Homo-oligomer: A and B are copies of this chain.
Amino acid sequence: MTKIEQVIDYIDMQLKSRRLTPSMRLPSVRLLAKELHFSVSTIVEAYERMVSMGIIEARAGAGFFVCAPLEPLILSNIEPIREKSLDPLWISRQLLEASAQLIKVGCGWLPDDWMPHESLRKAIRDASKSSISELVHYSSPLGLLGLRELLARRLYNKAIEVTPDQILLTDSGSYSIDLICRFLLKPDDVVLVDDPCYFNFRALLKVHQVKIIGIPYTAQGPDIEAFKQAIEQYHPRLYITNSGIHNPTGATLSQPTAHQLVSLIEQANMVVVEDDIFSDFETTHSPRFSALDGLNHSIYIGSFSKTLSASVRCGYIVAKKEWIDHLVDLKVATSFSNSNFSAQILYRALTDGSYRKHMEQLKIKLAEAMQFNVQMFEKLQIKPWIIPKAGIFLWCELPTDIDIKKMADYCTENGVVLALGSSFSQSDRFQQFLRFNVAQCMHPDIFSILEKAMRYARHAPA
């Protein structure tokens, strides 16, 4: 590589790493010459070549400026290309696109007929009789007051004491987290996630172009020592987690772990975002950061997509009042409003007496499904990492002599879609893991397909 090429390469790296962005001035010729220990004429020649390549431009008397071409944010280009089946975006799209015929034993939602569709139908019929204004008008900036009041009462039962004006309704839980990331993050900030964690957290954080650090997750919550070290080493801004029932492990936070984490987060002046989307599946109470910390360094997120509907969508953000004020501005600027009609349907369904009954029955059904699955997996030597107290997930380790990729291929060919452990992690710690959804595994054929797949995918003994 000639010296001139070295200079071009150097500037190119600065562009790729976004240290130099469009319209920024490049270092002066003299300065760069000194920095790289090259002659001024080498730098001049390199800059002129870059001008002719259309990468930079010279402005009379002002120096050289970046004029990078229009370069869209292509998410799949941000990280080094991994195997497609491990890309979090690919996983989401595959699950969302998969035909209804396929059995998605690893997906994150209940089978359709386990959802409270009768409450929902009734709520929709009632909502069709709303006032014209409720049918056609924009929502107020914070969103439907009735639903926010109801949420404030529900949160009180989780020891999170807030007023309805500390709750902001949005169109979904994911969008809520996105709004918070916009509010609190800049590119190159560091964000902690659990290892393993919900794959879409990583996809979302890619959009924000931050550095993602995984903290090993234990049966009591994130590993405290690793969390401490990450704080010292990386100065993270944010920690994003599912605090109620953890995705994908099904674990719940222990009181001591939650308490220690709240202290660490406070000392480090960082913020924890807890996405409590599986909250309504809980049968016993587990700690919430927002309750312990009084929403000082924490933000609480929820939605109804797992328990009521993922088609009639509404999410919400619970935070300190002054943050909500700024988040409203961001919401208005980026989506102007939220679906007030969806909020009305969900409010009606939640306050319908039959919803609570449905949830009680659902929890019993899930507990039975969990027990059944654990037994079936035992026979197959598929080992649950823990037996969760509640929820839909079973995070399982497969025998080391099973080639998981081969097993997944066999399953797909036979109409069963698996959720591979490695898609929940940036590390390679979970290559022998699968996430199962116990409600989706009640289909009689599944375990025989799994058994055949494992037989097919077993390595010959060495």
Contact = CB atoms under 8 A, between A and B. Distances in A.
Contacts of A155: none
A334 interface: yes
A1 interface: no
B326 A313 contact: no
A72 interface: yes
A346 to B, nearest CB: 11
A335 B175 contact: yes
Given A31-B35, A117-B132, A92 B332 contact: yes
B136 A310 contact: yes
Interface stretch (A73-81, A223-231, A406-414): A73-81
Interface string A317-354: 00000010010111011111111111011000000000
A38 to B, nearest CB: 15
Nearest to A138: B310
B134 A329 contact: no
A237 to B, nearest CB: 6
A448 interface: no
Given A93-B141, A203-B333, A336-B92, A311 B341 contact: yes
A190 interface: yes
Contacts of A109: 137-138
Interface centre among A22, A34, A270, A332 (most CB of B within 10 A): A332
Interface string A432-453: 0000000000000000000000
Interface residues of A, number: 96
Given A117-B132, A311-B135, A311-B137, A183 B73 contact: yes
A69 B189 contact: no
Interface stretch (A43-51, A120-128, A158-166): A120-128
Nearest to A206: B333
A431 interface: no
B326 A339 contact: no
A296 interface: no
B75 A326 contact: yes
Contact of A24 (B19, B323, B339, B342): B19
A6 to B, nearest CB: 18
B134 A311 contact: yes
Contacts of A18: 186
Contacts of A341: 309, 311-313, 342, 345
A137 B109 CA distance: 9
Contact of A96 (B75, B125, B313, B337): B337
Contacts of A312: 135, 339, 341-342
A332 B70 contact: no
A207 interface: yes
Contacts of A369: none
A269 B70 contact: yes
A22 B235 CA distance: 10
B70 A184 contact: yes
A174 interface: yes
Contact of A76 (B23, B120, B329, B340): B329
B75 A186 contact: no
A187 interface: yes
A16 to B, nearest CB: 13
A311 B136 contact: yes
Nearest to A270: B70
A374 to B, nearest CB: 27
A113 B140 contact: no
B69 A269 contact: yes
A340 B311 contact: yes
Contacts of A127: 124
Contacts of A52: none
Contact of A34 (B34, B207, B271, B330): B34
A2 interface: no
Given A124-B128, A207-B334, 19 more contacts: A22-B188, A23-B188, A69-B269, A70-B184, A73-B183, A73-B326, A73-B330, A93-B328, A112-B136, A121-B128, A121-B135, A125-B125, A172-B337, A174-B334, A178-B334, A178-B335, A206-B333, A311-B344, A339-B342
